[in-house]
Amino acid sequence: MSATASLASTIPSGTWKPDPVHSNIGFSVKHMGVSTVRGRFGEFDGSLEVAAEDGSLKIGGTVKSASVDTKEPQRDEHLRSTDFFDAAKFPELTFQSSRIEPAGDDRFQVTGDLTIHGVTNKITLEAEVTGSDVDPQGNTRVGLEITGELSRKDYEMKFNAALGSGNLVVSDNVKLALDISAIKQD
Report phi then psi at 10, rounded to 5. Answer: -90, -40
How high is the pLDDT of residue 1?
42
Q: Render pLDDT for 35-65 as a digit per residue (tens, 0 to 9).
A: 999 999 999 999 998 877 776 788 999 999 9
Number of structural domains (the chain) is: 1
CATH of the domain at 152: 2.40.128.110
Distance between CA 23 and CA 144 in Å, rounded? 9
Distant-in-sequence, close-in-space partners of 57: CB < 8 Å, separation ≥ 6: 3, 4, 7, 8, 48, 49, 50, 51, 97, 100
Distance between CA 131 and CA 41 in Å, rounded? 24
Domain of residue 179 covers 3-184
Distant-in-sequence, close-in-space partners of 159: CB < 8 Å, separation ≥ 6: 83, 84, 170
DSSP annotation of 139: -
Q: Render pLDDT for 97-150 as a digit per residue (tens, 0 to 9).
A: 999 988 888 899 999 999 999 999 999 999 999 999 999 999 999 999 999 999
